[in-house]
Amino acid sequence: MDKPSISIILPTFNRANAINNAIDSILNQTFTSLEIIIVDDASIDKTSQVVELYQKKDSRITYVKNKENVGCSKSRNIGLRHAQAETIAFMDDDDQYADQDVLINLYSKMKSEGAELVIANYGLGDELRLMKRFEKDFKSNIIKSPGPFLQCVLIKKQLITNIGVAFDSQAIPSEDWDFFISISKLNPIVSYCACTTFNWRTNQNSQSLDFLREANSLAYICKKHKKYITENVGSKIMSCHYRRIARVYEKTDSIKQVKVFYKKAFQEYSISIKNIFYWIMVKIGYKNTKPLINWIRKLRGVSNA
């Protein structure tokens, strides 16, 4: 096989009953100069048999099996080491491309505009999440809030290589945001493609529904990039991140962490009315003031934690 133009990295773990949908959606792409690197994170189901059947039909599939379970971030790093192409795409084992032209649209955009990173839209249920705002001033926008998933971008391998360790296991399940913040430090040439790449489906087993892990990962990312965030977008945005983390912790039993991060928000930007309010509420006692907080959120049309 000639050297592929795109290497698609697909980590998987015990998804023998679903990974075929992800693989089929890649093989059905109109863009054919590609390879699929499937990194099996020590599955104990029939994943290897499923992939073996595909390999017999298509030589573009490379199968790597980890000796032990290391998680999706380290599996992606392993996949990167096997990638032959200069351009990288990512796919999760329970997702699939929205249509057959996703890769050709992204690749054509990258080539025509000389981009190092192409970002496109994705679906969430019946809602289309538009990523256009990340085309202009990517650094500022990605620091301010998470946006694209790995599955909705095409990126130059050299850009990933330049950040060192691409995927940080401590950032799971918000590793996408951590990755893009790290990429933004290199000031990449970014383009936006107005296509829908995939439809993100949540389920009860989804990592993103584990609020404690999510809160811990966001706290880790903000600590890791704090200096970079404050230098580029200021303390006000940093305090917003701390409030967001506190709200996620509110969905758990980690009342101590709720207090910690509302306090951090206040200390970071003490002239904010919101920060003053929440700090007073947790100072009095979050358990006592929670009904008041929820009542005020209801008046403002904001959902409760």
Band (pLDDT 50/70/90 cuts) for residue 305 is low
3-state per-residue secondary structure call for the chain: CCCCCEEEEEEECCCCCCHHHHHHHHHCCCCCCEEEEEEECCCCCCHHHHHHHHHHHCCCEEEEECCCCCCHHHHHHHHHHHCCCCEEEECCCCCCECCCCHHHHHHHHHHHHCCCEEEEEEEECCEEECCHHHCCCHHHHHHHCCCCCHHHEEEEHHHHHCCCCCCCHHHCCCHHHHHHHHHHCCCCCEEEEEEEEEEECCCCCCHHHCHHHHHHHHHHHHHHCHHHHHHHHCHHHHHHHHHHHHHHHHCCCCHHHHHHHHHHHHHHCCCCHHHHHHHHHHHHCHHHHHHHHHHHHHHHCCCCC
- What pLDDT score was predicted for residue 209? 55
Q: Kindly report the average pLDDT of the chain as a whole number.
A: 94
Residues 62 and 37 sit within 8 Å (Cβ to Cβ): yes
What integer is the mean pLDDT of 266-276?
Answer: 97
- What pLDDT score was predicted for residue 304? 66
What integer is the mean pLDDT of 198-215?
Answer: 71
Band (pLDDT 50/70/90 cuts) for residue 207 is very low
Q: Is the full-model pTM beyond 0.85?
A: yes
Band (pLDDT 50/70/90 cuts) for residue 211 is very high
- What pLDDT score was predicted for residue 205? 46
Domain boundaries, the chain: 6-205, 210-300
- What pLDDT score was predicted for residue 279? 95
At position 202, the amino acid (one-letter code) is T
Residues 221 and 172 sit within 8 Å (Cβ to Cβ): no
Q: Which residue has the higher pLDDT, 126 or 13?
A: 13
Return the axis-axis angle of helices 286-300 and 255-268, rounded to nearest 10°: 60
- Distant-in-sequence contacts of 229-234, Cβ < 8 A, 24+ apart: 229/143, 232/139, 232/140, 232/143, 233/140, 233/143, 233/144
Band (pLDDT 50/70/90 cuts) for residue 202 is low
183 CB neighbour count, 10 Å cutoff: 23
6-205 under CATH 1.10.357.10, yes or no:
no
- CB-count exposure of residue 81 (10 Å: 0-12, 13-18, 19+): exposed
Q: In this model, does residue 200 exceed pLDDT 90? A: no
- What pLDDT score was predicted for residue 41? 97
HSE toward the beta carbon, residue 229, CA cutoff 13 A = 24
- pLDDT tens by residue, 94-103: 999 999 999 9
Band (pLDDT 50/70/90 cuts) for residue 210 is confident
- What pLDDT score was predicted for residue 76? 97
